[in-house]
């Protein structure tokens, strides 16, 4: 018999069918055995009646066994229906069960466990409906990002992960043993490549993995994450970038199908305005608690879960950030905060070759290490800017997950790659 997907059973009332999937729940009631079966399309209740030829196998089966089940699709008695639930009005009368794979589970799926235990068992714990929903939402976010950018004339490109130098001079790039004792690094961002692509496609986006070797152990840092990056040419200033981002973010929120407070226009504040509102000192950056506080303010005053903060000081931004000619010492840069967390960083970039070289020198960087990147400026780049949004941070805040690791398939951090790292020395 051909397999029927569980999601298609409702249209087969009265028919004999074959389903294949996992046993989510098994309730042995002595004479009868009840099941919840699941496959990629959904769940259905099964019942093995006392007279069924399948009753012995039904008693042998355990949770997470992979099974092929033959049965008849019956309407449920009215009193047992689950209104609104998928297949709430049908059940599968089991006539045969074949065990495809057995299972030995470490604990019941859905058991409340601490985060380390959850992460150590992801090949198992990802199977809950809650976990699956997180990564279905993440899939929708990334699809929304692509659609939002393509709809605005952007071209998708593949940014490299291996780069030749720790170009921005931070200590945060992981080093790679490349060929013959040569060294390479893992990209901390596709920044230089997307700027190069402005010279090619004018508007370009990418969704690469990026790598940060920062020694942070927080609820919002990852050593490897997905970055939703774009860069666009011929801008007036950073507000054009913010508008492109806001347009895409609106589509992402819609695709994710989550309730978000988002007014017609996201409120925009200069960093110094934020600090004035919060009554805190003028520091070059916001502390996490200030990010939370200004988001609370934006929700209260503007009914917005989002708030743009602009004009970070030159000293706190990378060398390529454009200084505001009308507000010297401050940059045409922005962060986008969402529900208490910075999810995006962006701004206008310096597009003049000679000015860029000067800015490198002023930050103590060696222009000769940037010769590949600088080529793009030598052959003419327009005023441009862009932004980078952390996919996992956005996912986590959209779903109100306390830790970004819950929104990450296979998170990597200080102590973890898949499971906790051993303390073996490199050798």
Name residues contacting a second copy, limited to 157-216 (CB under 8 A).
157-164, 174-179, 181-184, 186, 193, 196-197, 199-203, 208-209, 211, 213, 215
Smallest distance, a second copy to C-beta of residue 416, A? 9
Q: How many chain residues interact with a second copy (CB under 8 A)?
A: 100
Segment interacting with a second copy, rule: CB under 8 A, options 18-26, 250-258, 284-292, 357-365: 18-26
Q: How far apart are CA 39 and CA 199, in angstroms?
A: 47
Closest CA to 323 of 314, 336, 315: 314
Residues between 358 and 397 that touch a second copy (CB under 8 A): 371-373, 375-383, 391
CB-count burial class (<10 Å; 0-12, 13-18, 19+) for 401: middle
Residues 43-72 that bind a second copy (CB under 8 A): 64-66
Q: Which of residues 234-263 bind a second copy (CB under 8 A)?
A: 234
Our CA dihedral for 69, 75, 79, 81, rounded to 10 degrees, sits at 60
Ramachandran area for residue 64 (φ above 0: left; ψ -120 to 50: alpha; else beta) = left
Beta bridge partners of 19: 69
Nearer to a second copy, 306 or 373 (CB): 373
**CA–CA separation, 125 and 93 (whole Å):** 29
**Closest distance between a second copy and the C-beta of residue 289, in Å?**
27
Q: How far apart are CA 20 and CA 6, in angstroms?
A: 8
- Look up residue 213 and give its DSSP letter: -
Element (H, E) at 25: strand 16-28
| Residue 142 binding a second copy, by CB under 8 A | yes
According to DSSP, residue 371 is labeled H
Q: Which is nearer to a second copy, 127 or 270 (CB)?
A: 127
Spatial separation of the C-alpha atoms in residues 241 and 349, rounded to whole Å: 11
131 touches a second copy by CB under 8 A: yes
The C-alpha atoms of residue 299 and residue 339 are separated, in whole angstroms, by 9
The region of 104-112, 243-251, 289-297, 332-340 touching a second copy under the rule CB under 8 A is: 104-112
Alpha-carbon separation of residue 41 from 8, 34, 91, 127 (angstroms): 8, 20, 16, 13
Supply the minimum distance, in Å, between the C-beta of residue 417 and a second copy: 4
The C-alpha angle with vertex 367 and arms to 364 and 369, in degrees rounded to 5, equals: 105
Residue nearer to a second copy on the CB measure, 43 or 294: 43
Of the two residues 141 and 269, which places its CB atom closer to a second copy in the complex?
A: 141
| Closest distance of CB 183 from a second copy, Å | 5
Cα distance from N-terminal residue to C-terminal residue, the chain: 55
Instruction: Pick from 32, 55, 72, 135 the residue near a second copy by CB under 8 A.
Output: 135
Segment 281 to 310, residues that bind a second copy, using CB under 8 A = none
Phi, psi of 106 (to 5 degrees): -75, -30
Residue numbers 69-98 binding a second copy by CB under 8 A: none
* Region of 87 on the Ramachandran plot (φ > 0 left; ψ -120 to 50 alpha; else beta): left
Q: Which stretch binds a second copy (CB under 8 A): 9-17, 100-108, 273-281, 296-304?
A: 100-108
In whole angstroms, the minimum distance from the beta carbon of 115 to a second copy comes to 16
Q: Identify which range of 51-59, 119-127, 262-270, 358-366 contacts a second copy by CB under 8 A.
A: 119-127
By CB under 8 A, is residue 105 in contact with a second copy?
yes
State the Cα–Cα distance between residues 7 and 317, nearest whole angstrom: 51
Please say which residue, 45 or 138, places its beta carbon nearer to a second copy: 138
Name the DSSP class of 39: E
Least separation in angstroms between residue 295's CB and a second copy is: 26
Rounded to a whole number of angstroms, the minimum distance from the CB of residue 78 to a second copy is 32
Nearer to a second copy, 60 or 139 (CB): 139
Q: What is the pattern of x (binds a second copy, CB under 8 A) and - over residues 392-421?
A: -----------------xx-x-xx-xxx-x
Q: Report the residue from 41, 86, 172, 254 that binds a second copy according to the rule CB under 8 A.
A: 41
CA–CA separation, 345 and 337 (whole Å): 9
């Amino acid at each position: 018999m051909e397999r029927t997907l569980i999601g298609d059973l409702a249209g087969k009332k009265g028919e004999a069918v074959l389903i294949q999937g996992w046993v989510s729940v098994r309730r042995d009631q002595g004479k009868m055995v009840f099941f919840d079966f699941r496959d990629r399309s959904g769940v259905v209740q099964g019942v093995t009646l006392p007279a069924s030829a399948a009753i012995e196998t039904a008693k042998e089966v355990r949770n997470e066994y992979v099974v092929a089940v033959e049965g008849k699709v019956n309407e449920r008695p009215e009193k047992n229906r689950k209104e609104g639930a998928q297949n709430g009005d049908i059940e599968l009368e089991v006539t045969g069960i074949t065990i495809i794979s057995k299972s030995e589970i470490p604990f019941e799926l859905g058991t409340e466990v601490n985060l380390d235990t959850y992460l150590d068992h992801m090949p198992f714990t990802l199977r809950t409906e809650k976990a699956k929903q997180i990564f279905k939402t993440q899939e929708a976010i990334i699809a929304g990002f692509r659609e939002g950018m393509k709809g605005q004339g952007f071209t998708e490109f593949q940014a490299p992960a291996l780069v030749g130098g720790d170009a921005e001079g931070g200590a945060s790039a992981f080093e790679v043993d490349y060929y013959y004792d040569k060294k390479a690094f893992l990209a901390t961002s596709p920044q230089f490549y997307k700027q190069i692509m402005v010279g090619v496609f004018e508007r370009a986006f990418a969704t690469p993995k990026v790598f940060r070797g920062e020694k942070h152990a927080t609820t919002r840092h990852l050593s490897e994450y997905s970055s939703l990056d774009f860069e666009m040419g011929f801008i007036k200033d950073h507000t054009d970038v913010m508008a492109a981002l806001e347009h895409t973010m609106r589509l992402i929120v819609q695709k994710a199908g989550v309730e978000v407070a988002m007014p017609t226009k996201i409120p925009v504040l200069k960093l110094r305005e934020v600090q004035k509102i919060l009554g805190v000192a003028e520091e070059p950056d916001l502390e996490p608690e200030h990010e939370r506080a200004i988001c609370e303010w934006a929700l209260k005053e503007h009914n917005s879960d989002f708030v743009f903060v602009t004009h970070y000081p030159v000293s706190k931004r990378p060398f390529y950030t454009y200084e505001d000619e009308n507000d010297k010492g401050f940059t045409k840069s922005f962060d986008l905060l969402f529900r208490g967390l910075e999810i995006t960083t962006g701004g206008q970039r310096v597009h003049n070759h000679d000015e860029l070289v000067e800015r490198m020198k002023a930050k103590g960087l060696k222009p000769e290490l940037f010769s590949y990147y600088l080529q793009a400026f030598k052959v003419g780049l327009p005023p441009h800017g862009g932004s980078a949004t952390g996919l996992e941070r956005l996912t986590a805040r959209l779903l109100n997950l306390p830790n970004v690791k819950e929104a990450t398939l296979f998170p990597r951090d200080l102590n973890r790659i898949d499971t906790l790292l051993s303390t073996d020395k490199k050798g």
